[in-house]
Every structure is written in structure tokens, then in C-alpha cells.
Structure 1
Amino acid sequence: MRLTRWIAALATACLAVSAAHAQPADWPSHPIRIIVPAPAGGPYDQVIRPVAQQMAQSLKTPVLVDNRPSAGNIVGTQAGAAAAPDGYTLTMTGMLNTIAQSMYENLPFDIVKDFAHIGEIGGGPQWLVVRSDAGIASFQDLVQQARREPGRINYASSGAGSTGHLVMEQLQRAAGIQLTHVPYKGGGPALQDVLAGVVSVIVIPPNAAFASIQSGKLKVLAVSSPQRSPAMPGAPTFAELGYKQLTIASWVGLSAPKGTPAPIVHKLNAALQAAVKDPALVKQLEFQGMDVQTSSPEQYTQLVRGDTERWGQLVRSLNIKAN
């Protein structure tokens, strides 16, 4: 009798494990949602919408975008971590999450442990820009003005713990200057206030700034790429200016909740890879300043883990806290 019960229990456990790793035959049977923890119209949003459209073609089901902005991308990422692990709710994750992991003391999720990471979309540099009529002629001029009047120049960011915030914190320490941080709930609102003249300076991805630069409203002072940007050859790199530590590529990708069956994760990865290999999409993303990448779930997991460790060391050394 005991042996019979033990065999029955073992069989039940094996069936449970098998079910957890099995891909439902009809998956996907209804629309997939991608949570974007940033505002509509911002840099994240401009990247993910065409990617979602391409993935929908591969998966033969609608892929919808759900914008949930907040400082540090926390609210949307938390919702993604807490979603059912069934492959129908994904989250747009990125380098910002690996920074926030150390900047916030009580994050309600762990970017490494609470997700089944699907794959990278790509990455790109950050551009330091100012309003063309802000009275700041160059990077050197910005530094000189900030040294003469500490705290007078304001800079915007998409929130405490954002890439732009961290870049500017590094810059202030490296140059020995003091600027005033004005955080916003996303890159879109921050850029709007820079364009409106409320704030003078911002660090943002090229795709967010390019149209305003072309129209003459914004001016690029420096770029974080290792080499000068072909789209903006007149703008020096931070490394040229003597700030090699500000050479940064900010990346983004897709993740699912922890526990999502591996076959579903790999099917999502295949759809993502097909999307970012589409020539028209690649051209569109490259025009926005992104270096398109493909990766396996394992490679993206390692990228998330490695940058969480790297940024954690830097954040702790600078003693930066967002709360």
C-alpha cells in the first residue's frame, strides 16, 4: 500500500513538472501584451511598437503595447514580474533595470531572479543635449558655467535611477561641477520641458532627440558612444573630452515572468529574432540610433546579470540612492 501511494505521488509530481515545461498546443490563443514601463511616445515606446508588430506576424496573434510609466521603470516592471507565467504578458526590460536594482533599497522585484529573460533587441549611446537658445555653446561651456555658478543649471531625466541621471551624476563627479537634477516620470515628459525651456539640459537616446536636433531646437554637446556618431559627426565623444568612464551603450530587450515554460520562452525568442532581422525594421531602428542585436535567452540572461553586478558596484561607489 505504501509503495502504491509513493508511486502515485511520484507520478503526480512528474506530471506537474511536465505540465510546467510543456507548451500548450494552442499557444498563443489570444493577444499577447508587452508592458512598457515608460510613457507612450518616449524612446522605449518608439522601439517596441514596430518590434511588436513584427512579432505579431510571426506569432499570428496581436501583440499589444501597455505603457505604465514611473520613475526608475519600477511600476511597469513590477507588474510584469507579478503577471501569470503563461507567455501572454511580457515586459520590456533594459539596462535601466540593472541600475535601479542597486539604487532603490526596497525594490518589489529582482530583475535577475524574477524573470525568464527572452532576448535582447539592441542598444545605443546616450546624447547630452541642450536647447539651442539655452546660452550653452559647447560641452566646455557647460562645465565652465556650472563651475562659475554651482547648481544654477538644471538638467532633466526620465526619473531617479535612469541612465540619464546616472550619466549626469558621473559627469558632475568627474568634472567637479554641481547641477540641479529635475526628475520626470519618463523621457517624453522630460524632453518636452527641455523643449519648452523649463529645463536646459538632458541626456537621452538619439531617437528621442534626432527630430528636434534636425529642426534646430536642440544641440548635441557630447555622445556616449566609443566613436563619433555617423548621424552627428560634429559632436565629440565623452572619451575625446577626457571622460572615458562615460562611454556607455544603453540596451533593451524582452522578458517574461519567472516560471514561464521554456518552450514558450524559446518561441518568443524566435519571434523576437525574426523581428529584429527584418531589413525594414533594422533600418528603422538604426535610423533611431540603435545598434540592433540578437541573442538567445541564455545570452540575454547573462547580460542582465552581468550589468546588474557592474552597475551595482558603480552605484555603491558613488553612493547614489533614489529613495
Structure 2
Amino acid sequence: MLRLLMAIACLSSIVATAQTTAWPTHPIKVVVPAPAGGPYDRIMRPLAQKMATSLGQPLVIDNRPSAGNIVGTQYGASAAPDGYTLTMTGMLNTIAQGMYDKIPFDIAKDFEPVGAIGEGAQWLIVRSDSGIASLSDLLAKAKKAPGKVDYASSGAGSTGHLLMELLQRAAKVQLTHVPYKGGAPALQDVLAGVVAVMIIPPNAAQASVQSGKLRVIAVSSAQRSPAWEDVPTFAELGYPDLTVSSWVGLSAPKGTSAAVVNKLNAALIQALNDKALLQHLDAEGLTPLRTTPKQYGDLVVKDLNRWSALVRSLGLRAN
């Protein structure tokens, strides 16, 4: 009986190893919890093509958009842990976890992290003719007239909104939040002079900055951008808590084998070393992040703790 049990165990191990070695044998689905043509989608499609080359199977994009990226992420969390369904996850998930009641998954516990894709800084922008030439100008104006300076955001709980809340706390000033249904209408009202200021990803405002319509007065990255060396970081200006980069990555359902996760991570790293893909990511305002699965998991947990605490303290609820 002992010999029989040992033989069964060995056979099971051989079968499992063979399955992992053979994986993948058919196309892999990548759930993008955002609309086709949006930033997530534009990042994932060329990346999927590069990863498919090294994995030997196509990566098929499945767009499942919803508020807070919840619908698509839930679908990815509940998929079979066989390596054939991946989900594009990001910092937005860690914010949404604290804003929505009864989210049917836990972004940190219900996924196996595969790896980060990249991160992007945020710009604090004003209209060039606003009379605000620096962060100190903005804060002086806000202190002189508490609550009279408006700032736009793409919605309550967005990265721009939360960063402006952090700035108000750190600088001890009061501004008035004007939430919009998306970044595009918010930016249009800043350009029109309806709202004074907003925080926005660089790729969304770059054309208007280059044309002279907008001015960047601070950036949320840890270091200045080589392409915009005259723009100071928040940390340089005395606000290190505003050193924030929005990030995205790939995750697999909880229980996916370590061997499959490691293969996926290797394919992801290889893709992130491709020059053409790096140029595409740069155009999207994204700097590549090459992480191990554990490092990506640690990033998820770190920001989940950070943003959940801030969201709770602000009393923000999206329901």
C-alpha cells in the first residue's frame, strides 16, 4: 500500500510538471476592466502582442468596463486559476477597495500578482494666464481666500482628487473640489478658465502645455522628468507625501501555480525590454516597472493601506 501511494504521488507530480511545462497550449484571456480605446486598453494591447511572442500563444483582450474597474476585476478574480485568464490591475483598485461597499473581491487576497507594467506621475496644472506661476503662488492665493479657489478632478476618489486632498492637509489650505465625469471635461474647464487648477496625467495635458495654454507647477514623481527639467517635484517644494505614481500591472486568479506565474512574469519582463514597446509606453506617460511577482504584490498591499486610510478619513463613499 505504501509503495502504491508513493507511486500515485510520483505520478501526480509528473503529470503536474508536464502540464506546467506544456502551458500554455491555447490562447490566454487578458481582462481589461476599462473601455476599448482607453488608457488601460492602449497600454495592454501592444504589451499583449509582445508577451504572445515569447509565450507562443495569443493574448486576447477582453474589455469589461465599469465604475472603479469592479466588474472586470471581479470576473478576473473568479476565473479558474489555470493561467488562461489574467487581469489588468492597478492603483485604481486599491482606491476603489475603500470607496465601494461590499466589493465582491479583495484586490490583495484574491489574486496572484504577476508583475507591474509601469507607473506614471501626475502634473499640477494651471492656465498660463491665471496669474499662478508656482505652487507657492497657488497656496498664497488659497490662504488669502479660503475655499474660493476651485480645483477640478475626473471624479471623487480619483488620483487627482486624493492628491489635492493631501496637498490641502499638508499645506493647511482650503480649496473647493469640483468633480467631473472624466478627465476630459475637467481639463476643458481648466483650459476655459472656469476652474483654476487640477492634477492630471502628463499625457492628457502635454499638448496644451507645449502650446503654452497650460503651465505645470509641480510633478508628483520622485525625481524631475528629463523631458521637463524645469518642473519641480512636490518633494522638492516641501511636500514629500505627494510623491505618488499611478501604476498598472498584471494579476492571475488566486491559486494559479507559481510555475505559471513565473513564466508569465518572465514574458512580461521580456516585453518591457522591447524598445518599440517602451516608446509606446512613454507616449502614454508610463515608465516601465520591472518587478518580481512578490514586489508587485507588496506594491498592491502598500497602496491599499495608504489609500484606504485616506478615503476613510475623508468619508468618501461611491455607493
**TM-score between the two structures when normalised by the length of structure 2:** 0.81
Residue 163 of structure 1 corresponds to which residue in structure 2? 159
In the alignment, what sits opposite 1:44?
Answer: 40
For 1:77 and 1:297, how far apart are their aligned partners in 2?
18
Aligned match for 1:236, one of 232, 236, 239: 232
Q: Assess, with a 3 A threshold, how the Cα gap between structure 1 residues 208 and 58 changes in structure 2: closer, same or farther.
A: farther
Distance 1:311 1:280, change over 3 A: same
Q: Is the 8 A contact 1:87 1:265 kept in 2?
A: yes
Q: How many residues align?
A: 313
User: Where does residue 101 of structure 1 map in the other structure?
Assistant: 97
2:316 matches 1:321: yes
Say which is worse superposed, 279-288 or 229-238, in terms of deviation.
Answer: 279-288
Q: Which moved more, 1:65-74 or 1:91-100?
A: 65-74
**1:129 corresponds to which of 125, 128, 137:** 125
CA contact 2:120–2:246 (8 Å) conserved in 1 = yes
> Which of 175, 182, 195 in structure 2 is aligned with 1:178?
175
Match of 1:222 among 198, 214, 218: 218
Residues 263 and 47 of structure 1: is their aligned pair in 2 closer, same or farther, counting only changes over 3 Å?
A: same
AA partner of residue 87 (structure 2):
T
Give the corresponding residue for 2:150.
153
Q: Pick which of 79-88 and 243-252 moved more.
A: 79-88
| Cα distance change of structure 1 residues 50 and 213 upon mapping to structure 2, 3 Å threshold | farther
| Structure 1 match to 2:106 | 110
> Are 2:275 and 1:275 aligned?
no
- 2:69 maps to 73
Normalising by structure 1, we get a TM-score of 0.81
State the alpha-carbon separation in 1 of the partners of residues 77 and 41 from structure 2: 19
Deviation at 1:275, TM superposition (A): 0.4
Separation in structure 2 between the aligned mates of residue 194 and residue 36 of structure 1, nearest angstrom:
30
**Secondary structure of the structure 2 residue equivalent to 1:237:** coil
- Tell me what 1:33 maps to: 29
Conserved 8 A contact 2:29-2:85: yes
State which of 247, 263, 267 in structure 1 corresponds to 2:259. 263
Residue 23 of structure 1 aligns to a residue whose secondary structure is helix
Mapped partners of 1:136, 1:231: distance in 2: 22
192-201 or 94-103, larger mean C-alpha shift: 192-201
Post-superposition offset of 1:288: 4.3
Q: Structure 1: give runs of 5+ residues left out of the alignment.
A: none
Mapped to 2, the partners of 1:213 and 1:304 lie a distance apart of 32
- Kept in 1, the 8 Å contact 2:23–2:260? The answer is no
What is the match of residue 81 of structure 2?
85
For residues 192 and 44 of structure 2, the distance between their equivalents in structure 1, rounded to whole angstroms, comes to 26
* CA RMSD of superposed structures (Å): 3.4
Moved more, 162-171 or 99-108: 99-108
- Residue 182 of structure 1 deviates from its aligned partner by 0.7
